[in-house]
Amino acid sequence: MTDIKIDYDNIDVTDIMKQIQAKAASPPKKPPPPKKTESTSKPALQIPEPEQVPMVLPKWRRILLKLMKPFSPLIKLLILPVHHDLMQTVYNLYHVNKRLDYFNTKMEQSLTKLSGELYSTSERLDLKIDRFNERYDQISLRLEDLDKTMEYVKTLHSLCHNIVVELTKLKIEEERTKVKIRIMEKDFEFLSRKEQVLEKKAFK
Amino acid sequence: MKVAFVVQRYGLEISGGAELHCRWVTEHMKKYWDVEVLTTRALDYITWENYYTASDAAVNGVPVRRFPVIKTRNPERFGKVQNIVLKSEHKKEDEILWLEEEGPFSPDLIDYIKRHRDDYDYFIFFSYRYYHSYWGVKAAPHKSILVPTAEHDPVIYLKIFKDLFRKPRGIVYNSAEEKKLINTVSGNENVKGEIAGVGAEVPEDIFSKQFCQKYGIKDDYIIYIGRIDKNKGCAELFDFFSRYKEETGSNIKLVLVGSTVLKIPIHPDIIYLGFLSEEEKFSALNKALLLLMPSFYESLSMVTNEAWAMHKPVLANACCEVLKGQCERSRAGLYYENYREFKEALMLFLGSSRLRSRMGKNGRKYFQDNYTWGTIEKKYLSLLKCLEKE
């Protein structure tokens, strides 16, 4: 139960007290602090940015590109299959639309189902809240009773305390009176003996 | 050998302190010496008002001479003088005035000692701090023995007492700590001293079972016996006990015995029983797990000796050097300076019946070796024998 070592055959109060004082002086146990992650303890690794190597074109190519620049949109139009792409996109969009319609219908169905469940749950919850409120009222009433009882207990305690104090005073008074009676009895004995002696002397 | 015991009050009505100590010693020593008591007519220790009318009486077979107190104590005036002597620069005359104000101011008692010092072999003065001891020891220093019953309070550092402790032929101390304190204060190592204290007697009839039934105590309990007062450390005890209960959830109860001048807190586990007869007090002590002694100042705790006589360990306040020293010497008690030490020590005691029983045995042995009346009587006799030889 305790980590204080005691030699029961030869009790050493000073030694026990040293152990108690050391135990009392030690700070209360605290929960261990949270472990720090390595990422916070070490500096974050920086990813090196790729080196940007300037692209150097041959001179003849640069001149050719400059010359062809005004015709570039036409060249692009002729080279790329724009119409085919457009048709493909329209087709894709049509399919996407159809899938969206399907999901919409499904979502509506799920929502209807969910709202039904939610309604029944809320009804059950309402019932529970009603019951809880009833119990809360009952508890409040009981707590009020308990408060009253506690007040009674407090009053009773102070009454008991006062009674004990009064009884103590009475007991002390009783002891004193007893002592006084004893002293008076002794005085009386002494006086009667004195009286007898005086009587004897007087009648002699 | 004719010996006079000089004390501030004397009578069967007085049930504690140095006065009871004096009465017990006187009654035990009357079989060896021709004893007489010199005292005042006072009963109330606050006003010293004359209560006993007869100047001569016998109390339990001991002749008693009572001298009138000619000036009652005025607490207000006394408080003012005490403030001067304790808190500011002052002269020896101020201290003499303080002594007069403290009382019991009975010059007739001192005159009697002066006039009749040759009629007695020794005067044994009880309580260093009162008028009768200071002037009485001065009146017959070579025949004086002082029983100081000193506590470590500021009054002991007054200059007049330094002088007083050096004057008598012998001093009977209550404890080694008291001797050390007085030696330090006055440097009176050359005055013959004996450590005696006061004995205790355990009544034959102890009815612990009936006691518990009468007061409806079913659980284990620890006990405090004595005046329930802030000065006795009771307020601190209530605080520590309540905190202990809250923190540990222990089902231990605290039983209080004695008259109270303090409002006892409302706590279901603090049971106040008030003033009990000696038999009931010992019955209560016998059933307790241990005695609590929270007092800050004690010259000698009689109830601690009684607990040890009943095989009970003690948990004492370490601020009181005497109690701490006694616990260490007896190996029958632990002590505390603060709440955490109180908690640890009490937990240790309550958790180990073996420790309680061992310390109880040690306490009983310490009591038998030091505080039975036979031992105390021998110590008084040996001191006087030593003085006779000088």
Asked if the structure places residue A63 within a domain, the reply is: no
Judged by a CB distance cut-off of 8 A, whether residue B202 touches chain A is no
CB spacing of A13 vs B331 below 8 angstroms:
yes
What pLDDT, on a 0 to 100 scale, did the predictor assign at position B300? 82
Q: How far apart are CA A43 and CA B353, in angstroms?
A: 59
What's the CA gap between A114 and A110, in Å, rounded?
Answer: 6
pLDDT at B265: 87
Q: Which helix (H) or strand (E) holds B185?
A: helix B176-186
DSSP sequence for A110-178:
HHHHHHHHHHHHHHHHHHHHHHHHHHHHHHHHHHHHHHHHHHHHHHHHHHHHHHHHHHHHHHHHHHHHH
A interface test, pick of B240, B262, B266, B267 with most A CB neighbours within 10 Å: B266
Chain B contact for A12 (CB, 8 A cutoff) = yes
Location of structure tokens 């002066």: B114
pLDDT in tens, chain A (204 residues): 557 888 888 888 989 998 988 888 877 655 555 544 444 444 444 444 444 555 667 888 888 888 888 888 877 777 777 777 788 889 999 999 999 999 999 999 999 999 999 999 999 999 999 999 999 999 999 999 999 999 998 888 888 888 888 888 888 888 888 888 988 898 899 899 999 999 998 887
Taking CB atoms and an 8 Å limit, are B334 and A20 in contact across chains? yes
The region, left, alpha or beta by phi > 0 then psi within -120 to 50, assigned to residue B226 is left
A14 touches chain B (CB under 8 A): yes
Q: Is the Cα torsion angle B106, B39, B136, B86 positive or negative in sign?
A: negative
User: Could you write out the DSSP letters of every residue in B12-53?
Assistant: TT--SHHHHHHHHHHHHHTTTSEEEEEEESB--TTT--B---
Assess A148–B contact: CB distance below 8 Å, yes or no: no
pLDDT at A43: 45
Q: What is the pLDDT of residues B305-329, one digit of tens each?
A: 999 999 999 999 999 988 999 999 9
What pLDDT score does A21 carry? 87
Summarize pLDDT for A144-186 with one digit per residue, the tens.
999 999 999 888 888 888 888 888 888 888 888 888 898 889 8
Which A positions 163-192 lie with beta carbon below 8 A of chain B? 164-165, 167-169, 171-172, 175-176, 179-180, 182-183, 186
Q: In the A/B pair of chains, how many CB contacts fall below 8 A? A: 74
Q: Smallest Cβ distance to B344: which of A24, A157, A158?
A: A24
* Cβ contact, residue pair A13, B273, below 8 Å: no
Binary contact (A180, B13; C-beta < 8 A)? yes
* Residue A10 belongs to some domain of the structure: no
| Domain contains A64 | no
Taking CA atoms, what residue in B is nearest to A150?
A: B266
Is A58 within the bounds of a domain? no
Q: Which domains does chain B have, with CATH numbers?
A: 2-199+372-389 (3.40.50.2000), 208-370 (3.40.50.2000)
User: Which of B315, B256, B269 is closest to B290 using CA atoms?
Assistant: B315
The per-residue pLDDT of chain B, averaged, comes to 91
The Cα A1–Cα A19 span in angstroms is 15
Chain B partners within 8 Å of A17 (Cβ) = 334-335
Q: Residues for chain A: how many in total? A: 204
Q: In the prediction, which pLDDT does A40 show?
A: 43
Compare CB distances from B12 to A2, A167, A183 and report the shortest one's residue. Answer: A183
ipTM of the complex: 0.77
Closest listed residue to residue B135, CA positions, set B78, B96, B178:
B96
Distances (CA, A) of B85 to B89, B167, B211: 7, 22, 48
The length of chain B is: 390
Whether A128 maps to a domain, the answer reads yes
Q: What predicted TM-score, i.e. pTM, was given to this entire model?
A: 0.68
Judged by CB atoms closer than 8 Å, whether chains meet at B259 and A172 is answered as: yes
Measured distance CA(A24)–CA(A4) in Å, rounded: 12
Cβ–Cβ of A175/B15 closer than 8 Å? yes
pLDDT at position A46, please? Answer: 46
Sign of the torsion formed by the C-alpha atoms of A196, A198, A202 and A204: positive
| Chain position carrying tokens 């959830």 | B249
From residue A13, alpha-carbon distances to A2, A21, A134, B326, B329 in Å are: 16, 12, 61, 10, 8
**B344: nearest CA partner in chain A:** A20
Whether residue A18 lies inside any domain: the answer is no
- Closest residue in B to A165 (Cα) is B274
The reported pLDDT for the residue numbered B121 is 94
Question: Which chain A residue lies closest to B278 (C-alpha atoms)?
Answer: A175
pLDDT, tens digit, 9 for 90 and up, residues B347-372: 999 999 999 999 999 999 999 998 88
Domain count within chain A: 1
Mean pLDDT of B62-78: 92
Closest CA to B313 of B292, B339, B283: B292
Chain B's closest residue to A187, CA to CA, is B57
Q: Residue B328: which of A13, A23, A175 has the nearest Cβ?
A: A13
Residue A130 lies in a domain: yes
Closest to B95 (Cα-Cα) out of B32, B45, B151, B161: B161
- Among the partner-chain residues B12, B259, B266, the one whose CB lies closest to the CB of A157 is B266
Measured between CA atoms, how close is A38 to chain B, in angstroms? 40
Mutation for B interface: A17, A173, A181, most B CBs within 10 A:
A17
Establish if A195 belongs to a structural domain. no
Write b or e for each residue in B158-181: b if 16 or more Cβ atoms lie within 10 A of its Cβ, otherwise e. Answer: beebebbbbbbbbbbbbbebbbeb
Q: B143 vs chain A: nearest CA distance in angstroms?
A: 32
Are A23 and B344 inside 8 Å of each other by CB?
yes
Task: Please name the residue of chain B whose CA is at the shortest distance from the CA of residue A12.
Answer: B331
- The string of DSSP letters for B209-257 reads HHHHHHHT--S-EEEEES-B-GGGTHHHHHHHHHHHHHHH----EEEEE
Nearest chain A residue to B353 by CA: give it.
A8
Structural domain span for residue A124: 81-168
- Return the SS3 of B57: strand
Residue from the list A21, A157, A175 with its beta carbon closest to the beta carbon of B341: A21
Task: Tell me, yes or no, if B347 comes closer than 8 A to chain A by beta carbon.
Answer: yes
